[in-house]
Amino acid sequence: MKRIAFLIMILTVPFGVSAQDTAPKDAVQDAESDTRKDADDSRFSNAYELYKLKRFDQALAWLGEYIEVYPDGIHRKEVYRLIGDIYLSRFDYKRAIKYYSMLFEEFGGEEEGIGGYYQIGICYSRMGKTEKAVEIFKAIIDQYPGSSFAQKSRTQLEIEEIVK
């Protein structure tokens, strides 16, 4: 019986057409999408493991590749933040600002994007560019009063005032 069903299937598929060609297009696209998501998750996961192990040079390489390979990847927020955090920890404030800016530009309306903007203020503060830092902290308070970073910005403004 199975043999007959198989023969009928073979006879109904036009010559030179594979079974995948006869599969519904949505199913093929879903499978490709799942594969791409799995690869996206895997690359990010590998980079994050390196980050947790404090193997920052390797993590930077993997995270940088992630940005190039997945221009619309689902972990872009985390990638920008992690790269910014690595550079911040290395006192490389200009590079940290670059990645925090990318985070804010791409995700400015979300909490993570606002966090990137806040981190830019922190970088400027540590660079001794107090006026620029204060400007950013005030902008966060004005533009995103309901965010958790508005309160953190108020605290930073108090610190900047004490340091003066």
Strand, helix or coil for residue 73: coil
Alpha helix (H) ranges present in the chain? 2-12, 19-22, 25-52, 56-69, 76-89, 93-107, 111-126, 130-143, 148-163
Cα separation, 132 vs 36, whole angstroms = 41
The token duo for 70 is: 């997945």
Q: How far apart are CA 82 and CA 76, in angstroms?
A: 10
pLDDT at 100 over 70: yes
Distance CA 154, CA 119 (A): 14
Q: What is the mean pLDDT of residues 57-63?
A: 97
pLDDT attached to residue 62: 97
pLDDT given for residue 52 in this prediction: 97
Each residue's pLDDT tens digit, 32-53: 667 778 889 999 999 999 999 9
Quick one: tokens of 33?
Answer: 């999408």
pLDDT-based confidence at residue 22 (cuts at 50, 70, 90): low
Q: Please check whether residue 84 is in contact with residue 103, taking contact to mean a CB–CB distance below 8 angstroms.
A: yes
Q: What angle do CA 49, 53, 56 make, to 5 degrees?
A: 90
The verdict on pTM exceeding 0.75 is yes
Res 7: pLDDT = 39
Split at pLDDT 50, 70, 90, the class of 10 is very low
Q: How many residues does the chain have?
A: 164
